[in-house]
Amino acid sequence: MLADTHFQFPGQISKYSGKVRDVYNINNELMVIVASDRISAFDHILPRPIPYKGQVLNQTAAHFFEAVKGEIPSHVISVPDPNVTIGLYCKPFPVEVVIRAYLAGHAWRVYRDGGREICGVTLPDGLKQSDRLPEPIITPATKSTIGHDEDISEADILRSGLIDEEDWARIRHYALQLFQRGTEMAARQGLILVDTKYEFGTHNEDVYLIDEIHTPDSSRYFYAEGYEERQARGEAQKQLSKEFVREWLMQNDFQGLDGQQMPVMPDDFLHQVTDRYIELYEKVTGKSFVKGGLENIEERIYENVMAEIG
């Protein structure tokens, strides 16, 4: 498993470790982005990595980046290894763009507890968990490397100067276009794209799509078949996402709050998580998942990256 990486590539200026990815800056020109097997929930990294999770994330994102190539500018240059994407060096905007088409996850918990506004968007009364919203809504969040991301309205993004008006207009347009494309691609696979998040950055003052798109870490999917019947009966929706990991944590009294102890996944649940990630990859992309192997992963990655960047 790939819990952490410690590469030293030619021209490497710095390394940044996020919750899941290790990002190597090469001469302020390229980023070598390594998807580890770390898993996070409630903005905390769990103690045990998930076998093949990094490969699932990287190859799922690569599938969707390829699908929008030529339509929306992205940082992706190549995918030289199952766990690696090489991209343009971009300065990320400090805001995640979250789009929701259904009332689920964080939005549902706010609504269930009486909230009728999220990120400046007013939600109608009378909705049930997993109901479709009247139209997709944008509910941004400020990015945090430690602690919790915080909801923020579009108005506050502009008012605070986090992103200027011209860049935000472009980001908003790209995000809605991506969500529409992701929705169409999911429908062809018998899935409903419930919600997702996108990240953007700048390179030479141009806006680029970065990070990941439509992966199990960034997105939630329902199975389309039986959706209406389950809603009518008030049953939980059958879904593909890492929400089941959050639910397991909540059942074990952890939501990332002060004083709470992070539980450690037992082996059987760890394997369930791997199986669910692989299931999502195959269901979402329509491709068979070919395991890259768990032995000598770092050696393989280094050789593949060096063959690409010299």
Q: What is the pLDDT of residues 202-225, one digit of tens each?
A: 999 999 999 999 998 899 999 999
For residue 78, the cross-strand partners are: 86
Measured CA to CA, the distance from residue 79 to residue 82 in angstroms comes to 7
Q: Which one-letter amino acid corresponds to residue 275?
A: D
Q: How confident is the model at residue 2 (pLDDT cuts 50, 70, 90)?
A: very high
101-117: pLDDT as tens digits? 999 999 999 999 999 99
Position 85 pLDDT exceeds 60: yes
Contact 111, 65 (CB under 8 A): no
pLDDT of res. 145? 52
Distance between first and last Cα of the chain: 26
* Distant-in-sequence, close-in-space partners of 26: CB < 8 Å, separation ≥ 6: 9, 10, 11, 12, 13, 32, 89, 309
pLDDT of res. 143? 79
26-39: pLDDT as tens digits? 999 999 999 999 99
Q: How confident is the model at residue 263 (pLDDT cuts 50, 70, 90)?
A: very high
Structure tokens at 13: 């200026």
98 φ/ψ angles, rounded to the nearest 5 degrees = -100, 130
7-54: pLDDT as tens digits? 999 999 999 998 999 999 999 999 999 999 999 988 899 999 999 999
Is residue 124 helix, strand or coil?
coil
Measured CA to CA, the distance from residue 126 to residue 290 in angstroms comes to 45
Considering the four listed CATH numbers 3.40.718.10, 3.90.1300.10, 3.30.470.20, 3.40.50.1240, the one that applies to the domain covering 92-245 is 3.30.470.20
pLDDT of res. 204? 93
* Residue 197 backbone class (left: φ over 0; alpha: ψ -120 to 50; beta: rest): beta
